[in-house]
Chain A
Amino acid sequence: MENAIIGITFLYLLSSAGYIAYLFLQKDVLHRLSGYVLALAFLGHTATIGYNFLMAGHMPVSDLHETLSVAAWAIVGVYILFQHQFNLKVLGAFAAPLAGMAMIASDLLPRIPLLAQNSLRSIWLVFHVLAVFSGEAAFALACGIGVLYLIQEKTIKTKKRRFFYRRLPSLEFLDSSGYVCVVAGFTLLTIGLATGFVYAKMIWGKFLSWDPKEIWSGVTWLLYAALIHERLVVGWRGRKSAILAIIGFCVIIFTFLGVNLLMKGHHEVFTRW
């Protein structure tokens, strides 16, 4: 199992290197090969997570080691779907390294022997975890696209069109595909929060226990809700929308790691290390 995880990490990094090389050299073959390597790694990763699921009898998210691994898996999965739909070739240089870094962090963290917890054996938890993680992966892509938008906007505004100008697609494309990611992420996050409430009701007998993670998840949800609302009503697009997508993802990272490491609460258990 250890070897499998290290192999998957290696493949993610290999694919990252390929995508970054593609960014510089613009050879389509590099992009294609990186895509195959990434898909292979993803299949292996899916099998590993599935195996852990079967062995433990619940989603393998009982410590930070496992959680980070699932996060990386979700990012890659959502990226593959997105790439299939939009074919934004340079985004691989963002998504693959992100997943690779999460995997390295996961590999470096110690594994914690599992406490027998029947509370984890619930179908609601499976939905909760899957929805939240894939939603956050979509937000991660939205953040990456937001960065690309800001770069491309700067090159057009300052009229210095060197490296990125030719490599990046049009502003309109970046704006609309980033928005698709935000909407997808928001939908998934909403589902994730709803199933989380149901689960909480079943385990702790109440929907909301004002645990810091819950509060910050709510903050994240409100932030993205505001982004979508402003876009629909006032037409916040382009730069503002991109900046907000980047801020949103920073809040997510804080919710994911910061809250667990700095504050106490019942989600803490998932990120022990």
Chain B
Amino acid sequence: MLPEIVLLGLNHKTAPVELRECLAFSPDQASTALDNGVRSPHISEILLISTCNRMEILMTAPDCPPAIDTAKQMISDIKQIPVSEFSNALYVHTGNDAVRHVFRVASSLDSMVVGEPQILGQLKDAYLIAVQNKTSGVILNRLLHKTFFVAKRVRSETGIGDHAVSISYAAIELGRKIFGELEAKKVLLIGAGEMAELAVEHLIRNRSGAIFVANRTFERGVELAGRFKGQAIRFEEIPEYLKTVDIVISSTGAPGYILTPQPVKAVMRVRKNRPLFFIDIAVPRDIDPDINRMGNAYVYDIDDLKNVIDENIEDRHREAVKGERIVDEAVIQFRKWYESLDAVPTIVALRAKLEQIAESENQKTFHALKHLSEEDRSAIQRMSQSMINKILHDPMVYLRRNGCYGDKSLHIDWTRKLFNLDNDNQE
């Protein structure tokens, strides 16, 4: 009997954030959980993934139900929370479904924001903890390596990670379509706000030029400017600075427009018509949309940026379909390898290999010794057959012996590698 691959867990679709918070494992807690897990007779290999959107336990076990119960109990013990509180949010996958689920999670097909890149790194960290605690064995090792490979393939062969899906990043992407390079582009931040500040940080990361901060209260402006290593200016100075800056990010609480077409028109000549990009994150809007009608001035407000993101998300979902196909392929391949871990096919393959060798060597010998009679030949063939039987006797007994299941798949894997039964030239 092969050990089962079992996965149980909860994610943003099945559990509210309050519950996910309670079940988040720190790396130390994860280590403890893994140690407890492998000590149980019901679990052979174990790995624990904990991120802000999901908590999952991946195991191999001789028998499913007791393994699942053990895992639940373990979560309950470590997180000090009764099983009944989270057991409704749990999903359980076994066999192919569990494999597919791991592939989908790693490829970010199961993420809240499809295509977000962090999950692969988080999974790698989780695997590292399992390796350090020696709780992953031949099956999980193979499964995780395959998982990393699949995730990379999905990322490189589909557009799942292309195009921005956050407001601030979408603004940066638009900036690139206007200016090409954002390097050395000067930025004016009007007002303050989380999204606006995030956009400025993105810009700094793209090596933008000088940062100017204008705020109704000058002190607040000075403080913000300090954070961005920029320069605080007074609100009245904005028209003056429009002459030099390239990107204006506005996010004030003002009830009406703080920038009208008039001052922009006035500076355009001085700017020699160099493009000016306005990002208006404020509600109600800060920047008169009529400015967008002027040559070389571009205005995007929060709704425009949201539309950009919606389109990009739609694109990602379209690309995700391709990702699912890659995952399906990989599940089938993994299944093949997994099934080969059973003792019977391995013994059959081993015998076939030996018989093939014996047969071809016999033929060579017969070809050289033409004087052998038919009787002599069949005697030699009988001898080689009984040699094969004798040689195979001990390995067969060893592989069929009922021992620890995890160890058994390990030995079968070794056998397959030792005799190169899978014709894996690369490995």
Contacts and interface: CB of A to CB of B under 8 A. Distances in A.
The finding on whether chains A and B are genuine partners in a shared complex, rather than unrelated, reads: yes
A238 interface: yes
Given A156-B298, A161-B308, A161-B311, A235 B271 contact: yes
Interface in A39-66: none
Contact of B178 (A159, A171, A236, A237): A171
Interface string B294-306: 0110101000100
Contacts of A239: 295-296
B420 to A, nearest CB: 37
Most buried by B among A165, A171, A239: A171
Nearest to B312: A161
A157 interface: yes
B180 A234 contact: no
Contact of A238 (B179, B181, B275, B307): B275
Contacts of A165: 177
Contact of B307 (A159, A172, A236): A159
B274 A234 contact: no
Given A161-B308, A240-B295, A172 B179 contact: yes
A157 B271 CA distance: 20
Given A156-B298, A159-B304, A240-B295, A171 B271 contact: no
B292 interface: yes
B177 A170 contact: yes
A239 B292 CA distance: 13
Nearest to B292: A157
Interface residues of B, number: 22
A159 B304 CA distance: 7
Nearest to B174: A156
Interface in B297-329: 298, 300, 304, 307-308, 311
B176 interface: yes
Interface string A203-234: 00000000000000000000000000000001
Nearest to B303: A159
A127 B7 CA distance: 78
A173 interface: yes
A255 interface: no
Given A172-B180, A173-B180, A240-B295, A235 B304 contact: no
Contacts of B308: 159, 161
A152 interface: yes
A173 B272 CA distance: 17
A170 B178 contact: yes
B185 to A, nearest CB: 10
Nearest to A157: B292
Interface string A232-266: 00111111100000000000000000000000000
B269 interface: yes
29 contacts: A152-B177, A156-B174, A156-B298, A157-B292, A157-B298, A159-B300, A159-B304, A161-B311, A165-B177, A170-B176, A170-B177, A170-B178, A170-B180, A171-B177, A171-B178, A171-B179, A172-B180, A172-B275, A173-B180, A234-B269, A234-B273, A236-B273, A237-B272, A237-B296, A238-B273, A238-B295, A238-B296, A239-B295, A239-B296
